[in-house]
Structure 1
């Protein structure tokens, strides 16, 4: 099938992703040669030389191309025999139009324009990481969160405009940000200092500040977590944070072009998510069941089994925040496979800070303020900043040893001669497929040839091919 950019997309199941090596390819080629008559062998040998020369001399071209036709393979199904880790769900891979839909009345500029990405299937936590789960990590490792450490002014001022005065020592103490209800009516919603307070002693163990604890909150999402704190947990758990594309794809729950994880019906918001019900920041009537954070899984899951994917607390992703990233992606006019975001952060409103994208909104989101309980909503958050409405969930990717390009007999053979591709997959091979196999070998590509009909020698030729999957993957920092 083709996406809206005219790019050929080949969505394949787990059985189509294969790794092999050059020795196996030589065996396949020897087999193909043995099945040709003398004249065919001569023409085939000449073609091998021509293809080898063209592939070696062809320069790499990483520049954007219009109407690209290289197929993209996507891992959709969970690999056979791979068990779902406890507390996680399988998110099938697919093709995503990332960003706000045109009919979303709350969409902000940095959520547009939509652009096409492809995401492999992966495992994702069904809920946000809880206090009890984080406590186990801290107990085993002795980890100390950023909010519990002494503040390093020399490091902090790197993220501030030059000549910013140092705050008083009474403020420069370990702590975090807490929401405080304003005592008088708020006129300017752009001045968030009216409802945020730096609270010395607030951290994940004391989510509401000194005097509060985790008794009765074991199943609540852990908060006051910086990016570094989230990465430390991921490393311990053998997982990583989701990319923004993975997060948004999972949040949609199998639905296409919708505003919320459940569709487009805003009237059922209070039944589906923990947000600010009333007029922010003065009046929260609690019609959704909670006036602050809620225990995880207090609301129905989306189509993929994810609870609280919007509302409750914001969630870290591993992508840098760049306000122009979506526009740049559209300008590139291509489809990225498993994108990891921009190479560096850029926010003209906060140029000195290094910020990551956070997603999902929180219990503080309201229609008259941020309305970030939408799947496309995104916000920037500095690496060392922790608040009482910010947590995270983890993912566990599943990767085959090699990604593939699907080459079928009904596709234009010119696709196979693009030497920039990662891997070639040749389906139902006939004699004419042999040049493609040679092209892949000469360009250091992987190739898998399905069983040709009527040739028992194929079994020997295919020895050494292995279907291997692995969980995990290094996070992109």
Structure 2
């Protein structure tokens, strides 16, 4: 389990945004109390420790499949995610993209193909819980005063990329080449609270229900469910032309039984009574 945590004192902050997608509105003042949070999203090495200790089997493993992103052969309309999301037999946390070799630094990548119940089970084992959406956004802002991005108003200050998000033309052209996938955590600068990968790499579960209709149906496979939960942070698949959601205020609603190659999580921990 993660031993890298930061204690945040809590307080008031500006949550949401009036500048972007409808589900982020209204911008408002929220308050959170003191809590600790993982510095990184839960990594494969940590999830493997949990599985070894508990013999836990994820929902994707029980179902026998999970959803994997697959690039299209050329430009396509961006209103149908089924064009690039495929249910793949055998896809799960330890085999995230069947048919491809695991990277040498796989243990340091954020775990994916994790459904809400899987994330909750790990969090309970680790002595924590999943964050409320307000806690997650407070942490992601890093003390910044409602800037567009976690690091300021510019996406790439002085030309420097600040998060692992899509490069190229989604969903068919990926500038780095190869297969788009997660990256080892901690490759980008920490935010003002010393937290890494709050933005990009993987979407992260919260325990908060998602009660507003999302204007973005392309971030995740379409799900038949009336119970959605808020995901935060964006992922390596977020691209400005269709999903400018690599921002603290950004959010999507996903069914709790969903598991994909771009959804992970991190834990929070209640402050000890004084």
Partner of 2:219: none
**1:365-399 per-position Cα deviation (integer Å, ceiling 9, x unaligned):** 01101111011000011111100000000011215
**Does residue 1:390 correspond to 2:263, yes or no?**
yes
Point out where structure 1 has 5 or more consecutive residues left out of the alignment. 1-84, 151-173, 325-348, 401-468, 470-477
SS at structure 2 position matched to 1:310: coil
Give the one of 332, 356, 359 matched to 2:229. 356
Distance of 2:73 and 2:94 partners within structure 1: 27
Distance of 1:285 and 1:211 partners within structure 2: 19
**Does residue 1:246 correspond to 2:135, yes or no?**
yes
Instruction: Indicate how the Cα distance of structure 1 residues 113 and 242 shifts in structure 2: closer, same or farther if over 3 A, else same.
Output: same
**Does residue 1:181 correspond to 2:54, yes or no?**
no
**1:112-166 per-position Cα deviation (integer Å, ceiling 9, x unaligned):** 011221111211100000000000000000000000004xxxxxxxxxxxxxxxx
Partner of 1:230: 119
SS at structure 2 position matched to 1:218: helix
Partner of 2:244: 371
TM-score, normalised on structure 2?
0.90
CA contact (8 A) 2:131 2:267 kept: yes
Tell me how large the CA RMSD over aligned residues is.
Answer: 2.1
Instruction: Indicate how the Cα distance of structure 1 residues 214 and 266 shifts in structure 2: closer, same or farther if over 3 A, else same.
Output: closer
**Pairing of 1:75-86 with structure 2 (within 5 A):** 86=3
CA contact (8 A) 1:361 1:372 kept: yes
**Does residue 1:130 correspond to 2:130, yes or no?**
no
Distance of 1:304 and 1:291 partners within structure 2: 28
**1:10-32 per-position Cα deviation (integer Å, ceiling 9, x unaligned):** xxxxxxxxxxxxxxxxxxxxxxx
Partner of 1:195: 84
CA contact (8 A) 1:130 1:221 kept: yes
Instruction: Indicate how the Cα distance of structure 1 residues 267 and 228 shifts in structure 2: closer, same or farther if over 3 A, else same.
Output: same
Distance of 1:255 and 1:213 partners within structure 2: 36
CA contact (8 A) 1:129 1:221 kept: yes
CA contact (8 A) 1:202 1:210 kept: no
CA contact (8 A) 2:129 2:268 kept: yes
Number of residue pairs aligned between Structure 1 and Structure 2: 264
The structure with the largest helix share of the pair is: 1
**1:435-458 per-position Cα deviation (integer Å, ceiling 9, x unaligned):** xxxxxxxxxxxxxxxxxxxxxxxx
Distance of 1:272 and 1:90 partners within structure 2: 23
Distance of 1:225 and 1:140 partners within structure 2: 18
Partner of 1:219: 108
Per-residue deviation, 1:209: 1.6
Distance of 1:192 and 1:86 partners within structure 2: 37
CA contact (8 A) 1:311 1:362 kept: yes
CA contact (8 A) 1:129 1:392 kept: yes
TM-score, normalised on structure 1?
0.53
SS at structure 2 position matched to 1:307: coil
Distance of 2:85 and 2:137 partners within structure 1: 28
Q: Relative contact order (C-alpha < 8 Å, sep 6+): which is higher?
A: 2
Distance of 1:251 and 1:320 partners within structure 2: 19
CA contact (8 A) 2:128 2:269 kept: yes
Distance of 1:300 and 1:256 partners within structure 2: 18
Give the one of 127, 136, 139 matched to 2:52. 139
Which runs of 4 or more aligned residues in structure 1 lie more than 4 Å from their structure 2 counterparts after TM superposition?
A: 210-215
Distance of 2:262 and 2:119 partners within structure 1: 14
**Pairing of 1:328-477 with structure 2 (within 5 A):** 352-398=225-271, 400=273, 469=274
Point out where structure 2 has 5 or more consecutive residues left out of the alignment. 214-221
SS at structure 2 position matched to 1:384: coil
